Structure 1
C-alpha cells in the first residue's frame, strides 16, 4: 500500500511540475510575441488588424473621395509614423484632390511594403534627407523649414493618413511606388510603367519589383 501511495504521489508531483513548466514556457512565448509586435511598424500592425474588415467589405466602398467625407470623419490621431505620413501629405499633396491625397499616401505605403525601400513610414519619407535635393520627397531636403500654415488642410490630410494606415482604401494607383507632378518630366519615368494620372500627379510602378498591392 505504501509503495502504491508513494508512486501516486510521485506521479502527481511530476504532473504538477510539468504543468508549471508548460505555464512558464507559455508565458515566455507570449512575452516573445509581445516584444515582436511592439517592434513592428505601426502601419503594418494596422494593416494586419484591418485584414478581416477588408475581406468583408471592399475598402473602396467605405471611402468617398470628397472633402465633405473627410470633414465628417473623427479627428485623426496617432504616433510618430502617423505624424510622418500626415506631414508628408500636407507638404506633398494638400492642394490635390482627396483621391490624389489618398494616391500619394498609397505610394508611400507601397514603398514601406517593398523590400527596395525602408520598412517604416518615417524612414521612407526621410530617405536621403540631409543631401539638398537628393532626397525622395523634396520638402524634406529643399532647405526650407517645414511649417504648417494651413491647419484645416492639415486636419484633412491627417484623416487621409489615418484612413490609409488603417487600410481603408487600396489600389488607387495599381501598385505605384513613384510619382511626379504634371509640371515636370523626369527622365526616370521612362524606366517604369505608368499606372495612373490623378489630379496633378502621374503615378508609376517598377514592374521588376512588384508589391503586394500591385498583384
Structure 2
C-alpha cells in the first residue's frame, strides 16, 4: 500500500504545475484528493438517500382524524374489500367520530394480518355469518336488512375505508383485534388487555399464544 501511495504521489507531483502548493509534499496532497473524493461520494450517497426518502414519503397516507380532512378527500370507490370495510364501518360505527371510525377499521385490518382470523377484509367481516347472533360483527347476523339509508354517512365511512386500505397508519388502538360498546361486557373483555377507549367503544388486543417448546 505504501508503494502505491508513493507512486501515486509522485505522479501527482510530476503532473503539478511549477510552484503548486503540494509540490513539496505530494503524499499529503494525494491524501487531500482522496479525502475530497470520499466526501463527494458521501454527498452523492446522502443525496440519493434523501431522494429515496422523499419518494417513499410521497407514498405515505397522511391522515387527520377530523371531518375537515375527510371533506377534502376525493369521493371513494373500490372493489369488494373496500365495499366490505365501508359497510362494516357504516353499520358498526357511523354514529362515531371520525377517530372512532378509523379505530374500528384498525381492528378489522389488524385481524386480517392475524393468523387466527381470515386473511381478507371480507373474510374477517363475514366470519360466523349464517347463524343468528353467532357472527363476529352483529349487523351481519342480526336478521335485519343491510340497507344504506344515510348517504352522507356512507360517503364518510367510504373515505375512511379508502384511506385505511390505501395504507393509512394504525396509530389509535395499539394493535387491537376486538372492541365492544360500553353498554355490554363480553366474557373476553376480562381476559384481553384493553388498549384504548374511543367514543362508545372499548378496544382490546387478543393475547398471542407463545409456544412452550
* TM-score calculated relative to the size of structure 1: 0.69
**Are the aligned partners of 1:173 and 1:195 in contact in 2 as well (CA < 8 Å)?**
yes
Change (3 A) 1:94 1:54: farther
In 2, Cα distance between equivalents of 1:209 and 1:178: 16
* Equivalent runs, 1:198-209 vs 2, <5 Å: 198-208=198-208
Aligned-residue offset at 1:142:
0.1
In 2, Cα distance between equivalents of 1:55 and 1:103: 25
> Which residues of structure 1 form unaligned runs of 5+?
1-51, 211-215
Instruction: Give the aligned partner of residue 56 of structure 1.
Output: 57
| Number of corresponding residues | 158
In 1, Cα distance between equivalents of 2:165 and 2:54: 14
Change (3 A) 1:152 1:54: farther
Answering whether residue 123 of structure 2 is matched by residue 133 of structure 1, we say no
> Which residues of structure 2 form unaligned runs of 5+?
1-52
Aligned-residue offset at 1:207:
2.2
Supply the RMSD in Å over aligned alpha carbons.
2.1
Answering whether residue 181 of structure 2 is matched by residue 164 of structure 1, we say no
Instruction: Give the aligned partner of residue 49 of structure 1.
Output: none
Paired residue secondary structure (1:188): helix
Paired residue secondary structure (2:196): strand
* Equivalent runs, 1:55-204 vs 2, <5 Å: 56=57, 62-204=62-204
* TM-score calculated relative to the size of structure 2: 0.70
Structure with more contact order per residue of length (Cα contacts < 8 Å, sep ≥ 6)? 1
In 2, Cα distance between equivalents of 1:54 and 1:123: 33
Q: Which has more radius of gyration?
A: 2
Change (3 A) 1:168 1:71: same
Aligned-residue offset at 1:134:
0.4
In 2, Cα distance between equivalents of 1:164 and 1:67: 16
* Higher helix fraction (1 or 2): 1
